[in-house]
Structure 1
Amino acid sequence: MLRVPKAGIIYNDIKPVARRTAEEIADKLRGYGWDVCLTTGVGGILGYSQPHRPICHTPISQLVPPGFDRDMAFGIVLGGDGTVLAAFRQVAPCGIPLLTVNTGHMGFLTETYLNHLPQAIEALMQDNYVVEERAMLTVQVWRNEALVWEALCLNEMVLHREPLTSMCHFEIELGAHTPVDIAADGVIISTPTGSTAYSLSAGGPVIAPGVPVLQLVPICPHSLASRALVFADTEPVTIFPANSNPLVMVVDGNAGCAILPDDRVRVLRSPYAARFIRLRPNEFLHVLREKLGWGLPHVAKPTSVELP
């Protein structure tokens, strides 16, 4: 007996256009005889935990939506970059490749737009695409030798001070190297995908997606010697906050948890990858130019004209 092909759709339920388009795509695929599962990106939103509340988290493997599994040929994401980040947090453990469709604003992580969706669906049906894998991070919080929180991360992990607290001190271990001490407002651990996000604004370099590295970027460091560091993604990172006040950890700009003085944060490359469906060769420099204006030609200011 032939197996019925299977696809998934993840959409931002806050946006009516995303919800409506998701239902239209599902009807179309079902008309071709496909089994289709729909879900929202809510399941990939981390939520905050607070010091006065018991820490709770959902294990990475339990974020996969019902019906989504390794038999799924592909998934389609309808939303902006936030929905894309949440969607990969949900499906990366299953290895499902995702076509990302922009219904938001910047759409730096999206592959196509709504007005090109019919052609994109046709390409999916004909297997006329390639899959690009992007590295993800596993972020863990350890307290008294117990794992109390974990999450998948595609862009970056940020550990920073609470409002109105003084500068933070971080003791950081990179693999088996000698620990270093950094005094700053916070630190960022970023993937190459996240190098064009928060870490870029904090002074970090842009890193091409296929380079097997991570980067550490201090936020407003106290010393001129504390600058961004690029290192092999085989090196796990452990951060000990050497402060008397709690800190805040944020993952992918989405949410995170409070970090107490005796906690430690461990960041390492995840065994799961974000698998992007590409309808055309992924030209990274073109995306940088189109989305961020990188490499645009310099335009001289007009010559001043003397008035008579």
Structure 2
Amino acid sequence: MPKVGIIYNDVKPIACRAAIELEEKFTAVGWDVCLATGTGGMLGYSNPNSPVCHTPIEGLTPPGFDAEMQFAVVLGGDGTVLAAARQVAPCGIPMFTVNTGHMGFLTEAYMNQLPLAMEQLLTGEYEVEERVMLSVKVFRGESTLWEALCLNEMVLHREPLTSMCHFEIAVGHHAPVDIAADGVIVSTPTGSTAYSLSAGGPVITPGVPVLQLVPICPHSLASRALVFPDHEPVNIYPVNTYRLVMVVDGNGGCYVLPQDRVYLERSPYTARFIRLQRPEFFRILREKLGWGLPHIAKPTSVELP
């Protein structure tokens, strides 16, 4: 019996109704269905007085979800997709993402497209696109305080985000660099259209094997976004006398004290997205962010006298 998972945003009535309807439809055609909410993939914050909040990366997978599952249908916005990616990536489960939110940059279909999408899903008429993820860890000495999978970006900044911080950052085997800024972002190509884009970083197409480091409001004309190979790990040492806050995928994170070290590397797990048609990244950029839209009036060729 084939097995399917459904992960939904349980605070949105439309997602809850769609989850129940999908469960009934898959069950009617003989599929085993496992339901879970995206809440299980949300990242909690450590308490400043008790900073250890270590949940292993593999510990977020919902009950019943395993490598035998054909795929998981994700009902929600981008936040639910990011949470679901952390839940299913360790098992290699492909996600079919349905937008019930606003932007829906990471989603493949809308609610009104579900009937046709169901036909393609049941017959296997789709492609699977893999996206790079990061493993983010916070160390104090040799102890792991916190870890998480990251699809978009890791952000390290002061709380509140109103004053300059100092960071010593080592990329791969290269010499460490000093950065003075309000914070720093380490982003995947998927995350290049999220926070790092707003902070002045470049857009990177998903298939390029790179990461990027983007200072937030740097106090130097020389501190700009840096793109580097994704096989090189990153170590970040906060050079401050106060604690910082680390946020992963805009969802949750932990406090980072002066004696801590933030370590990032390309994860062996990937986020696997089901595509009903061949992925077209530039089309998504145009539809969601307005990139490359034609001008209303274009200059016409004029013959010179």
Matches within 5 A, 1:53-72: 53-72=50-69
> What is the aligned counterpart of 2:225 among 211, 225, 228?
228
The residue that corresponds to 2:301 in the other structure is none
Query: Could you say what secondary structure the match of 2:286 adopts?
Result: helix
- Partner Cα separation in structure 2 for residue 101 and residue 11 of structure 1: 10
> What is the aligned counterpart of 1:296 among 278, 293, 296?
293
- Partner Cα separation in structure 2 for residue 299 and residue 164 of structure 1: 39
The residue that corresponds to 1:304 in the other structure is none
Superposed displacement of residue 53, structure 1: 2.3
Superposed displacement of residue 56, structure 1: 1.4
Superposed displacement of residue 128, structure 1: 0.1
Count how many residue pairs are aligned between Structure 1 and Structure 2.
298
Superposed displacement of residue 129, structure 1: 0.1
Q: Which runs of 5+ in 1 are unaligned?
A: 302-308
Query: Could you say what secondary structure the match of 2:115 adopts?
Result: helix
Q: With structure 1 as the length reference, what TM-score do the two structures score?
A: 0.95
Q: Deviations over 1:142-181 (max 9, x none)?
A: 0122111000000000001122764111000001100000
Change (3 A) 1:117 1:241: same
Quote the RMSD (CA, aligned, Å).
1.1
The residue that corresponds to 2:32 in the other structure is 35
AA aligned to 2:215 is P
> What is the aligned counterpart of 1:208 among 202, 205, 210?
205
Change (3 A) 1:264 1:76: same
Q: Deviations over 1:27-82 (max 9, x none)?
A: 11011010000000011000111221241121001111000000000110000000
The residue that corresponds to 1:264 in the other structure is 261
- Partner Cα separation in structure 2 for residue 92 and residue 113 of structure 1: 23
> What is the aligned counterpart of 2:47 among 43, 47, 50?
50
The residue that corresponds to 1:280 in the other structure is 277
Q: Which runs of 5+ in 2 are unaligned?
A: 299-305
Q: Deviations over 1:217-274 (max 9, x none)?
A: 0000000000000000000000000000100100000010000011000011000000
Q: Deviations over 1:177-201 (max 9, x none)?
A: 0000000000000000000000000
AA aligned to 2:160 is P
- Partner Cα separation in structure 1 for residue 43 and residue 67 of structure 2: 23
Change (3 A) 1:241 1:54: closer
> What is the aligned counterpart of 1:123 among 120, 123, 141?
120
The residue that corresponds to 1:138 in the other structure is 135
Q: Deviations over 1:265-303 (max 9, x none)?
A: 0011000000000000111000000000001123369xx
The residue that corresponds to 1:161 in the other structure is 158
Q: With structure 2 as the length reference, what TM-score do the two structures score?
A: 0.96
Query: Could you say what secondary structure the match of 1:89 adopts?
Result: helix
Query: Could you say what secondary structure the match of 1:205 adopts?
Result: coil
The residue that corresponds to 1:305 in the other structure is none
AA aligned to 1:129 is Y
